[in-house]
Amino acid sequence: MSPWLLSALVALLPMSLSARLARAEWTWRHPRAALALWQAVALSAGLGAITAGLVAAVAPLDAVFPHGMHTFVRGLASGHGLHGLGWAEFAALAWSAGVLVWLVAHTLRASFAAMAERRRQRLLVDVAAEHLPDVDVYVLPSARRLAYCVPGAGGRVVLSQGAIDSLSAAELQAVLNHERAHAKGRHDLVLLPFVALSRAFAWLPFARTARQAVAVLLEMIADDHARDPIPLARALVTMAQPSPAGALGAADAGVVERVGRLVARGRDAVWWVSVLVYSSALAVLSGPVVVLVAPWLWWDCHPSADLLSCVPD
Amino acid sequence: MARLGTLERSIMDALWRHPDGIFAHDLAAKLPSQPATTTVLTVLVRLGNKGMVTRERVGRAHLYRAAVDKDAVVAEAMRAALDDAGDIEGAVQRFVGTVSPEVAAALREALDARESR
């Protein structure tokens, strides 16, 4: 197996650590760094899956991937099409294209679904909730305890009357800071690729684990915008209790961890852990990125020269 | 943007107060912000496109009615944020989900223990 193919395939390996990463306690202390690591693992897996197919497809043309890629592109450009590719290489190429199209299609689908859902949600909030202009909060007349934000342009922070009635002023402020942090940080955009991933590869445990873990990390990042952690922790416990009006909400995996880190001051980052995690993220990404970028860097003639006139070695 | 939302809300409120239907010019006259009838008509048509308002021709004008009652709108807004489905879509970001009463009690105990320290 060529080192090129190997480095593309190795990019898929970190996915197997996802269950352990999702459980790791250091991620609660370093939610931002952990988020970057999840992003790197997911991106490198996607790039690795696409790149591996490309490398396998052009392998018969040249043992060195960039040269093979150049020969392949030159063949395409001069009208030879996929001539000279065996069925195995053709299948590898189709795999790459398929993965890419599948991912892009699901990302687009998830974006449109979220946009439509938010448009509907904004309309519902606009007609049914009372807007408090001085704090810019929308209040839904319901006894159920609920707080959420509709992200995006023209986003809205929504509280139910039940939530307002059961929280103290400091707790309410903490909840508002939390929701505004979501809106301001565009956490919806951070989450979107993972939603798309969990849709595109619903059978892949990594996709589900990542979707869940990233959501919890985003909550922790938003939690860190509270000035005083204790009112926020109190608000979390109050709001997480099943409402008297009936428990409709889904069980939330992140509540215990979030309260725990707020109460135990488990939010103090250790600098070398952050450095280590960010470096790991870079290392994870470097393999497939190097392979993908190599054909563009590894020219045998001046980069400004015509593509077709460049001859390998 | 914010003003349009306010108008939508006050129009829906007026429609909910008149379940038998109301004409656009009567509706405009009842609104505290005194918008022009054409403005009200524009919003009514938009609300109609979104399935919130129905109309029925009476003589030369249209009689407008709310297509959904307010409780249903509130329920739908709550459901989108409470449902598992809304969570999976990632369309809204809710503050917190729910835990079992036992977990809630344990969390509260941990909090109280910290307070009394």
State phi, psi for A300 to the nearest 5 degrees.
Answer: -95, 0
Based on the fold, state whether residues B56 and B10 are members of the same structural domain.
yes
CA distance A199 to B89: 9
Q: Give the chain B residue whose CA is nearest to the CA of A149.
A: B93
Based on the fold, state whether residues B7 and B42 are members of the same structural domain.
yes
pLDDT tens for A52-90 read 999 998 888 887 888 888 888 888 888 776 766 788 888
pLDDT tens for A143-170 read 888 899 998 877 899 999 999 999 999 9
What predicted TM-score, i.e. pTM, was given to this entire model? 0.88
Report the pLDDT averaged over residues B31-60.
92
- CB contact under 8 Å between A121 and B103, yes or no, is no
Pick from B83, B93, B96: which is nearest to A240 by CB?
Answer: B96
Determine the distance in angstroms separating the CA of A240 from the nearest CA of chain B, rounded to an integer.
Answer: 4
Whether the pLDDT of residue A308 is over 60: the answer is no
Whether the pLDDT of residue A133 is over 70: the answer is yes
Report the pLDDT averaged over residues A285-296.
88
Beta-carbon contacts of B20 under 8 Å, excluding residues fewer than 6 positions away, are B65
**Mean pLDDT, rounded, of chain A:** 86
pLDDT tens for A174-218 read 999 999 999 999 999 999 999 999 999 999 999 999 999 999 999
Residue A143's CB: how many other CB atoms inside 10 A?
A: 15
Residue B87, pLDDT score: 55
Residue B35 maps to which CATH number?
Answer: 1.10.10.10
Query: Could you tell me which residue, A308 or A124, shows the higher pLDDT?
Result: A124
Pick from A117, A188, A256: which is nearest to B80 by CB?
Answer: A117
Which residues of chain A have a CB within 8 Å of the CB of B2?
131, 133
Residue A246, pLDDT score: 45
Overall domain count for chain B? 2
Residue A269, pLDDT score: 81
Determine the distance in angstroms separating the CA of A196 from the nearest CA of chain B, rounded to an integer.
Answer: 9
Of the listed ranges A39-43, A117-121, A264-268, the one predicted with least confidence: A264-268
ipTM of the complex: 0.85
Residue A41, pLDDT score: 96
- CB contact under 8 Å between B96 and A187, yes or no, is no
- CB contact under 8 Å between B115 and A123, yes or no, is no
Q: Where are the beta strands (DSSP E) in A12-127?
A: none
Residue B88, pLDDT score: 55
Beta carbons of A139 and A160 less than 8 angstroms apart: yes
Report the pLDDT averaged over residues A43-50.
94
What's at A137, amino acid-wise?
V
Residue A256, pLDDT score: 86
Structural domain containing residue B74? 70-116
Determine the distance in angstroms separating the CA of A300 from the nearest CA of chain B, rounded to an integer.
Answer: 47
Report the pLDDT averaged over residues B23-29.
92
Based on the fold, state whether residues B6 and B58 are members of the same structural domain.
yes
CA distance A123 to B9: 9
Whether the pLDDT of residue B1 is over 50: the answer is no
SS3 category, A83: coil
Confidence of residue A265 (pLDDT cuts 50, 70, 90): low
Pick from A110, A118, A127: which is nearest to B52 by CB?
Answer: A127
Q: Where are the domains of chain A?
A: 3-309
Residue A312, pLDDT score: 47
State phi, psi for A197 to the nearest 5 degrees.
Answer: -60, -45
The beta-carbon contacts of A197-204 under 8 Å, at least 24 apart in sequence, are A197/A42, A197/A46, A197/A103, A197/A106, A198/B88, A199/A106, A199/A109, A199/A110, A200/A102, A200/A103, A200/A105, A200/A106, A204/A15
Interfacial A residues in 22-81 facing B (CB < 8 Å): none
Determine the distance in angstroms separating the CA of B12 from the nearest CA of chain A, rounded to an integer.
Answer: 6
Pick from A288, A308, A303: which is nearest to A53 by CA?
A288
Q: Where are the beta strands (DSSP E) in A60-193?
A: 130-132, 137-140, 147-150, 156-160
- CB contact under 8 Å between A149 and B1, yes or no, is no
Based on the fold, state whether residues B54 and B79 are members of the same structural domain.
no
Query: Could you tell me which residue, B114 or A84, shows the higher pLDDT?
Result: B114
SS3 category, A60: coil
Based on the fold, state whether residues B53 and B91 are members of the same structural domain.
no
Residue A249, pLDDT score: 45
Number of A/B CB contacts below 8 angstroms equals: 173
Residue A255, pLDDT score: 86
Report the pLDDT averaged over residues B79-83.
74
- CB contact under 8 Å between B107 and A240, yes or no, is yes
Quick check: B17 contacting A, CB < 8 Å? no
Whether the pLDDT of residue A245 is over 70: the answer is no
- The residue of B70, B93, B102 whose CB has the most chain A CBs within 10 angstroms, and thus the best one to mutate to test that interface, is B93
Pick from A296, A297, A300, A295: which is nearest to A311 by CA?
A300
Whether the pLDDT of residue B85 is over 80: the answer is no
Whether the pLDDT of residue A35 is over 90: the answer is yes
Residue A248, pLDDT score: 42
Quick check: A125 contacting B, CB < 8 Å? yes
Confidence of residue B12 (pLDDT cuts 50, 70, 90): very high
Residue A279, pLDDT score: 96
Q: Taking the C-alpha atoms of A31, A33, A37 and A40 in order, what is their torsion angle to the nearest 10 degrees?
A: 120
The owner of tokens 């395409």 is A76
Confidence of residue B83 (pLDDT cuts 50, 70, 90): low
Determine the distance in angstroms separating the CA of B42 from the nearest CA of chain A, rounded to an integer.
Answer: 15
| Winning range, highest mean pLDDT, from A241-245, A303-307, B68-72 | B68-72
